[in-house]
Each structure stands twice: as structure tokens, then as C-alpha cells.
């Protein structure tokens, strides 16, 4: 079976070159052709020796997940459904803005953490994505979004300027493959992104967060969604294993080496569940010792969710309380609603056969 070079970071690509009798510097050339130019035909890699191109054509391939569907929303948001075998699909979303283009990348097929308000969590967990399936999302997006040009030389300008690991799955539950993909995103011979422009979002796997701090610190977002353990246990079940005190201590440790001097706390606004004035004041007290900012996320409903979006007035009041306390707080603009690309909709139309969401919501509002 041919070797898919999208699975290799610089070190592993150098090892592969050595295995086929080539010098390690060839790895950097390959990285530029593969990730900067998006070239899949080894014959077209003009600065490689003919003999090497022939070896690569015989032994290797460059393959990203196949596109099953491609949708563009009225606001310019673009969502791809990608095939990853055995009838499974993952989704990747590109969000264009005036001065940047952000790609939301998936890390798993499904998710085992079962956050009760998340569409992806309702489909359960299938498997971790490979490095090729993770970095292949960025590779594919750059290839499809770049301006029409005949120039395929390494270093041509790319549309994706920021990457957020906020798609399907919990990134830190697929630690090794995610980190290798991060290495490629940061590698100047591949995508050359700044650590400040690559964000990993986690629901709170504390040991893995400590490992990320040591191995590859990038910008950090934490799916908080509740100001106390009782409520968070219901909304984000992993909290039962790693409660807020442990999670926030890990955030403090992470900030010591993080490329940004704050943590972004994500907080989905659920009507009658976590959006009251008292919740806002409790939240202020919870994070008083942590440099942070809040991203309030209007809930995006999906069939059988059991939750409703907080009213615009409730969101405004909640935001203003946080702002008055000196916390930088934004309300996420909903994007891609008409193609189900908005945050929390990344699993498509799925059925909740376990009634887990309905039961959890009932517990939340008792």
C-alpha cells in the first residue's frame, strides 16, 4: 500500500526520505510542494531529482479526504462534508471575514464527551481522525479557496489565515494526531501559521491540556458553558471527572507558556438553563483570578436538541454584566445557519435515540 505523505510531519517525512535512500533536506522540499503548493503529482515537483520523483510516484501518494458535498451560505460561509470511510463523514467549515479567513477543523468522527447541547455529541463516537484526515482539511481548503492562478510554486498566498480546532470531536482526546497536525500548521515549510492564529478548543481534559502546554502550546479556548459544577456536570459531563477547580488551575498553568495572555471561555446561551443574571454574577466570581475573555454563543437549535436559544435581551443583559465587571466579552455572530454550519450543528441531522439530551435538560432546569 502506498504511503500517504499527508500523514507525516517534518521529522517523519525526513525519516521516510532516509528509508528510500534520500537526504533529509528533501523533506523540506516535499513539505513546500505538498502543503504550500497543494501539488499531488510528484512529476510536477520540478526541483526534485527525476529519480526521486520516480521513487515517490511508485511508493507514495498525497490524499486528503474525499468531498461528499460542498455548500456555501448566503453570508459566504462554506461547509464541506468529507468522507472518511465506512460510511462516515466529517465536516469542515470556512468562515470568511474582512481581514482574515478562519477554518474550523474536525478531529474525530463523532465525539464521546456527549455535551448535551451539541449536535455532534448526539451521534456518539466512532474513531479518531488520522493526521492526514486532520491536516487534509486545511490542505483541501487552501487548494479550493485560493484565487484562480496557474502559479503552483511554494509560497503562493493562501486564504486561510486562522485555524480553530472546534469542529467535530474533542481535539485533546486525539492528542498525538492533533499535535502532529498542529506541528504542520506551524511549520514554515508547510503552512507557517503563528501560534496565536491556531486555537485548540477543549471541553476540559485536564491531563491532556497539561501535555499540550508542554508539547505544542497554541491559543486556548475552553468550552465552559456553566458557572458551577452542578450545572456543568449536566451540560458537559466530562466535568464530573475534571471539575471546574481542576480545569481552571490547568488554564492558569497553560497561560504561563501560551502565545496569548488570556484564555477564551466559550459559553453557549441556553434559554432558562445558564443565562440568568445570577449565572452571570457567579461566572464573574469563578474566573476572577484568570486572565480571560468570554465568547457568548447563541445556541443553534437542531432536531431533538431539547434546548432553546436565549433571547437577544437575555444575551445583552448577560454580556453587559460581564463587561461591567471588566471582562472582555463578545457575542459570536451566527454564521452559516442556512447550511447548518453554525457552531453546534456540525453533525447534521441526527436522531437522539437515547433521549440523553431531553433528560439532561430536564435535570438542568429543576
- The CA distance from 18 to 129, in Å, is 27
pTM score = 0.91
Q: End-to-end CA distance of the chain: give it in Å, rounded.
A: 56
Cβ atoms 236, 223 nearer than 8 A: yes
Q: What are the boundaries of each domain within the chain?
A: 3-61, 66-364
Specify the pLDDT at position 336: 64
- CA 45 and chain centroid, separation: 31
Specify the pLDDT at position 355: 44
Cα–Cα distances (Å) from 212 to 127, 178, 215, 237, 364, in that order, read 21, 10, 5, 22, 32
Residue 170's φ and ψ, nearest 5 degrees, are -100, 110
Specify the pLDDT at position 358: 45
Select which of 104, 118, 251, 343 is catalytic.
343
3-class DSSP state of 321: helix
Residue 85's φ and ψ, nearest 5 degrees, are 90, 155
Specify the pLDDT at position 352: 38
**How does 300-314 read in b/e, with b if 16+ C-beta sit within 10 Å?**
bbbeebbbebbeeeb
Q: In which residue ranges of the chain is pLDDT below 70?
A: 148-157, 335-366
The predicted-structure confidence for 284-303, as pLDDT tens digits, reads as follows 999 999 999 999 999 988 88
Q: How many CA atoms lie within 13 A of 349 on its CB side?
A: 2
- The CA distance from 184 to 41, in Å, is 20
Report angle CA 360, 361, 365 to the nearest 5 degrees.
120
Closest by Cα among 142, 167, 158, 161 to 92: 167
Q: Where are the beta strands (DSSP E) in 111-158?
A: 125-128
Select which of 22, 91, 133, 170 is catalytic.
91
- The CA distance from 281 to 231, in Å, is 15
- The CA distance from 7 to 46, in Å, is 22
Asked if the 3-61 domain carries CATH number 1.10.3720.10, the reply is no
Helix (H) or strand (E) holding 19: helix 10-19
Active site residue 343: yes
Q: Do domains 3-61 and 66-364 have the same CATH topology?
A: no
Cβ atoms 233, 240 nearer than 8 A: yes
Architecture of domain 66-364: Alpha-Beta Barrel (3.20)
Burial class (CB in 10 A: 0-12, 13-18, 19+), 332: middle
Q: Where are the beta strands (DSSP E) in the chain?
A: 3-4, 60-61, 66-72, 78-83, 89-96, 101-104, 108-110, 125-128, 162-165, 198-202, 219-223, 263-269, 292-298, 328-331
Beta bridge partners of 71: 79
Residue 195's φ and ψ, nearest 5 degrees, are -60, -30
Amino acid at each position: 500500500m502506498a504511503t500517504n505523505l499527508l500523514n507525516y510531519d517534518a521529522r517523519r517525512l525526513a525519516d521516510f526520505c532516509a528509508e528510500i535512500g534520500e537526504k533529509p533536506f528533501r523533506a523540506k522540499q516535499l513539505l513546500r510542494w505538498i502543503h504550500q503548493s497543494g501539488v499531488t503529482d510528484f512529476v510536477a515537483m520540478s526541483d526534485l531529482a527525476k529519480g526521486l520523483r520516480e521513487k515517490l510516484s511508485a511508493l507514495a501518494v498525497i490524499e486528503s479526504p474525499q468531498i461528499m458535498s460542498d455548500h456555501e451560505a448566503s453570508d459566504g460561509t462554506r461547509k464541506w462534508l468529507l468522507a472518511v470511510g465506512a460510511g462516515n463523514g466529517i465536516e469542515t467549515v470556512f468562515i470568511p471575514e474582512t481581514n482574515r479567513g478562519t477554518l474550523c477543523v474536525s478531529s474525530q468522527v463523532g465525539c464521546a464527551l456527549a455535551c448535551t447541547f451539541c449536535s455532534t455529541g448526539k451521534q456518539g463516537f466512532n474513531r479518531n481522525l488520522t493526521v492526514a484526515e486532520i491536516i487534509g482539511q486545511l490542505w483541501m481548503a487552501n487548494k479550493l479557496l485560493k484565487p484562480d492562478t496557474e502559479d503552483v510554486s511554494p509560497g503562493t498566498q493562501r486564504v486561510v489565515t486562522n485555524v480553530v480546532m472546534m469542529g467535530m470531536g474533542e481535539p485533546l482526546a486525539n492528542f498525538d494526531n492533533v499535535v502532529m497536525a498542529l506541528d504542520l500548521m506551524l511549520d514554515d515549510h508547510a503552512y507557517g501559521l503563528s501560534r496565536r492564529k491556531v486555537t485548540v478548543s477543549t471541553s476540559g481534559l485536564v491531563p491532556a491540556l497539561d501535555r499540550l502546554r508542554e508539547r505544542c502550546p497554541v491559543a486556548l479556548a475552553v468550552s465552559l458553558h456553566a458557572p458551577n459544577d452542578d450545572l456543568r456536570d449536566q451540560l458537559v459531563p466530562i466535568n464530573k471527572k475534571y471539575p471546574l477547580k481542576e480545569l481552571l488551575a490547568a488554564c492558569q498553568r497553560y497561560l504561563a507558556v501560551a502565545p496569548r495572555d488570556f484564555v477564551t471561555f466559550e459559553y453557549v446561551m441556553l434559554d432558562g438553563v445558564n443565562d440568568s443574571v445570577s449565572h452571570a454574577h457567579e461566572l464573574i466570581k469563578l474566573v476572577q483570578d484568570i486572565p480571560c475573555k468570554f465568547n457568548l454563543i447563541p445556541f443553534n437549535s437542531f432536531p431533538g436538541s431539547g434546548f432553546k436559544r436565549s433571547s437577544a435581551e437575555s444575551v445583552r443583559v448577560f454580556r453587559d454584566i460581564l463587561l461591567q465587571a471588566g471582562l472582555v466579552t463578545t457575542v459570536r455572530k451566527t454564521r452559516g445557519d442556512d447550511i447548518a454550519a453554525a457552531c453546534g450543528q456540525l453533525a447534521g441531522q441526527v436522531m437522539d435515540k437515547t433521549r440523553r439530551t431531553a433528560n439532561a435538560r430536564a435535570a438542568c432546569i429543576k
